[in-house]
Amino acid sequence: MRPVEVFHNGTTNVRAGTKNDIADIKTPKISEDVMQILNFIDGKWVSPSTGEFITSNSPINQKPIARVPASAKADMDLAIASAKAAFPSWSSEFVSNRVEYMLKLANLMEENKELLVHYETIDTGTMESFNRNENIDMCIKSLRQCAGYFKARLARPMSVIVSGDLGILPESLKTKEAMNLTYREPIGVAVIYSPCTVPLLHMMWKVAACLAVGNTCVCKPHHLTSTSSMILSTLIKKAGIPDGVVNIVFGEDDPVSEDLGTNKDVSAISMMGSTTCFPAVLPQATLAFKRTEVEFAGNNPAIIFDDCDIDECVNGSLRSCFLNKGEICTCTRRLYIHSSIYAEFLERFKKAIREQIKIGDPRRSDISYGPFVSKMLVEKIKSYITLAREEGANVDIVLNEEQEADSSIKISDPNDGSLEVEGCYGEHFIAPTIITGLKDDSLVAKDYYFSPVLSVFSFDDEDEVIRRANDVRYILGTTIWSKDPKRLERVSKQIDTGFVWYNNWYLRDMSIPFGGHIAYGSGKSGADDIFEFYTKGRTISSLIP
């Protein structure tokens, strides 16, 4: 069959038609080239059924970087059908063969790391240094780690020897013993949504586990941040992963999600981030007894006791509050500082912000954080800052002293923390903002939103701070700063959170259970939990001669 041109990025044609065809994507200059993204279904790149595309602009300067398919229900249905058709052969593959495909994909991602770093940076506004040193490496690690872990896990079924002394058994069996073996098996087709923040990593966590145990999937990246997923599709093809095992449908959530919860060919749905289709899809899926996994971020507290190492705490809190402009699900949103060190800590913390946190083009190595990916999110953050002022709180916009002196950043509106940044599109930037004097029940402190905006409180005793820290709907992770091991353990057991860091933040192994409590969502990432989610059990009882 004659190959068909399906993609053009300004310099290279990407063709599909034979099994080994693969796009040779080169890094374009943001001002000159626009990536044409296409749905990846059954191993082919295809246009959306609507024939329409959405222009995606870089949050750095609002220049177009991609044309994203405006997909519809028909495209999702086609991708699900492709995944269903691929399931029997993929699930029956030897685990070692599936692992080999995954390791090939990991190696290809490593070879193309700089390409992925570039697009994750210009597409999301995430720091290039973060993408290079953490984000993409964690994507690769998730593939390798899942490949190794699930290969070993699937090879050892749970076994129990049971005796026949139950009263309901006939006499002939009461002296017998049986071996009970429980095997874990793949469940079928999974639909995996990823958010607009750190999109590739959040997708790979799920996809790696899904594939390793023998499922097939349809991935649904956020329409604002789709370029790295397009590149991923070409690497999947080059790795030789059979057609239909991984499908990727691009576009806005609602059109492609219509009736997804009742689709009989879907066994599991995983959603992460503020996906608009949650309210429609999840009730349907629950009533249809599908596996569902939902993950939000958290309104995460840091509790700073008077015996902490203040220097370590200031430096650790800078990272937990402002890494990727607070646009990470575990970032600290609320600081509770013991009253005896409140003034000293806050003064030193603000001084550290002025000296160390620089805002600008995320491709620069000396910049701490860049723009937000979404104008809607920026407007939401600004509304909370405005609300804090209206409630009579103290709002302190803290700017880097060097940048303020050379005018490379300027406050656009002193009421809401918005910034003009030299060489960038200013409407997507928010300054580090410290809010004090809030009431505990203020929406500014209680709601969940990614931002470099911190609600700061003082406290006097342990019981008080535990109660106040727990008084929100979303908690994913908590950081506690103290030199007292007994206090650390005592407080951590009373915080309604899924993850607690003692005197550090963000240090964790990806195999460890990870997820929050309360309205954070359902399900957890981590080797054992995600293994259970993507598999079903089958127990066989066999008499022992």
Q: What is the CA radius of gyration of the chain?
A: 25
Burial (CB count within 10 angstroms: exposed 0-12, middle 13-18, buried 19+), residue 180? middle
Backbone angles phi, psi at 352, to 5 degrees: -65, -35
CA dist., res. 515 & res. 498, Å (int): 5
The 3-class secondary structure across 283-299, one letter per residue, is HHHHHCCCEEEEECCCC
Instruction: Note whether 378 and 325 are within 8 A (CB).
Output: no
The 3-class secondary structure across 342-382, one letter per residue, is HHHHHHHHHHHHHHHCCECCCCCCCCCECCCCCHHHHHHHH
Of 196, 217, 329, 331, the active-site residue reads 329
Distance in Å from the first CA to the final CA of the chain:
58
Catalytic: 329? yes
Residues 6+ apart with CB under 8 A from 461: none
Pairing of strands 409-413, 64-69: unpaired
The DSSP string of 14-75 is EEESSTT---------TTT--EE--EEETTEEE--TT--EEEEE-TTT--EEEEEE---HHH
Helix axis angle, 136-154 to 95-111, nearest 10°:
170
Burial (CB count within 10 angstroms: exposed 0-12, middle 13-18, buried 19+), residue 277? buried
Would you give the distance in Å from CA 487 to the centre of its chain? 31
CA dist., res. 121 & res. 138, Å (int): 15
Of 120, 252, 295, 327, the active-site residue reads 295
Instruction: Give the catalytic positions in this structure.
Output: 295, 329
